[in-house]
Amino acid sequence: MAQAIRLSERAARLDPETGHIYNTFTAESMLPVTSDRAARARLAWLDRKCLDSAPQPATMPHGAMVMAGSAAVGAGTWGSPAWRAAVRAWSRGALEGRGFRGVGEPVEHLTRPWSTVWTIDSDDGRFWFKESCKAWPGEGAVQAALAGLAAEYVDAPVAVEPARGWMLTRDGGPTVMEAAPGGTRGVEVDTLVGLLGDYARLQRRTVGQRKTFEQAGLRVLVPSDAVGLARAQAERMASLPADDPRHLTAEQRESVLAALPALGEAGSALLDGPVPLAVDQCDLFPRNIFLPRAAGAPYRFFDFAEAVWSHPFGSLVMLVWECLHRWKIGLPDDVVDCRDDRIREVFDAYLVCWTDLAPIGELRVLAQHALRIAPLHRSEVWLRVLDESDDAAVQEHGKTPWAWLEDVAKPVLL
């Protein structure tokens, strides 16, 4: 029987993405676990889910320019003299061509295996340059398409160079996470209720626009793909050398394969259900949401590098883990239990935006199915990123694909 033990590991932790200290489980925190070893593993597992998300501070005005660059593509070139010269020339040409004055030099803000982000100051304010890894070259075109459909929720890029995954955006102000009081990271009921309503309205603008987004380069992962994707990921990871951190043991592989019938049922329920497919940001997270510009204005969303065309309710998966982690909700080993009243209030604020299609009770059931499948999108993201990463990145992040993939074996309760 699981017993509640006190976690004394790390009363605070450094967020490697922002450099900020935030509180995690303290000596007063309680979790149902089976042993000290299990407690440590579960804390590390939650940390991987809640921290391994790239901050991409980027936003953009209407009328994105598509401009050709001249540098080689890929993380191996980031920051090199030739790369910096090409970025400087491309960015300056894009900004000065739009009439912006006093354009300065690019300054590195943050480089991670999946992207590099630089700031460029000018007399007319700050801009952000971003290059994504080769797995995600279409972010700029996807964001431009979203802005064309829902300009109040997504700002259009200043310029895009699709072949190299380059995007230039105007500063969008503070994010929800940056503005959050007391280290809450924006995971507060009132905040999440407000932003999820806006996010649902953004998604509904994309319904019926699959061709537009496919042409922009958006990946398509329909619910019926879940069984094949889960099997492929499990077999591939199990085939890796035992000393590779992505490697799955025979027991882990079998747990995924045993879940395939449930994934098939979830996929069928979603495809047969009343809610149409739409854009799933696949990284809906307080760090990727700008505060409203004024009272009564909507939240604005960015970082669509990992977005997919899929069931819209899968978007909630990142917030599931943020809520469970930040609110210190006990986690059983065999289900993802989201029946906490706070989570129900937050998610119902999202689901109510779809009640013209079905009663909210039916929508909750569909959300359970979507959240059973959604971890596959996250594990696929990480596998693709690590495919083109160096050994150091594989060692640092190699266990993250399994931290997501293992959840397909667990029913979700809402």
pLDDT tens figures, 361-400 = 999 999 999 999 999 999 999 999 999 999 999 999 999 9
Residues whose CB is less than 8 angstroms from the CB of residue 396 and which lie 6 or more positions away in sequence, other chains included: none
What is the pLDDT confidence band of residue 75, given thresholds at 50, 70 and 90? low
The topology under which CATH files domain 181-413 is Aminoglycoside 3'-phosphotransferase; Chain: A, domain 2 (3.90.1200)
- Which H or E element spans position 148? helix 139-149
β-bridge pairing 219-220 and 412-413:
unpaired
Domain boundaries defined on the chain:
3-51, 65-170, 181-413
Per-residue model confidence (pLDDT) at position 172: 96
pLDDT tens figures, 297-319 = 999 999 999 999 999 999 999 99
What is the pLDDT confidence band of residue 3, given thresholds at 50, 70 and 90? very low
- Highest mean pLDDT out of 3-7, 15-19, 410-414: 410-414
pLDDT tens figures, 322-331 = 999 999 998 8
Per-residue model confidence (pLDDT) at position 299: 98
Helix 360-373 to helix 375-387 angle (10° resolution) is 30
Whether pLDDT at 17 is above 70 = no
Per-residue model confidence (pLDDT) at position 180: 87
* Gap between the Cα atoms of 351 and 46, Å rounded: 25
Per-residue model confidence (pLDDT) at position 162: 87
**Using CA atoms in the order 249, 231, 400, 39, what is the torsion angle rounded to 10 degrees?**
-50
Q: How many CB atoms lie under 10 A from the CB of residue 391?
A: 8
Per-residue model confidence (pLDDT) at position 227: 98
Per-residue model confidence (pLDDT) at position 29: 29
Whether pLDDT at 97 is above 70 = yes
Nearest to 390 by CA among 118, 106, 111: 111
pTM (predicted TM-score): 0.83
Per-residue model confidence (pLDDT) at position 209: 98
Backbone angles phi, psi at 154, to 5 degrees: -140, 130
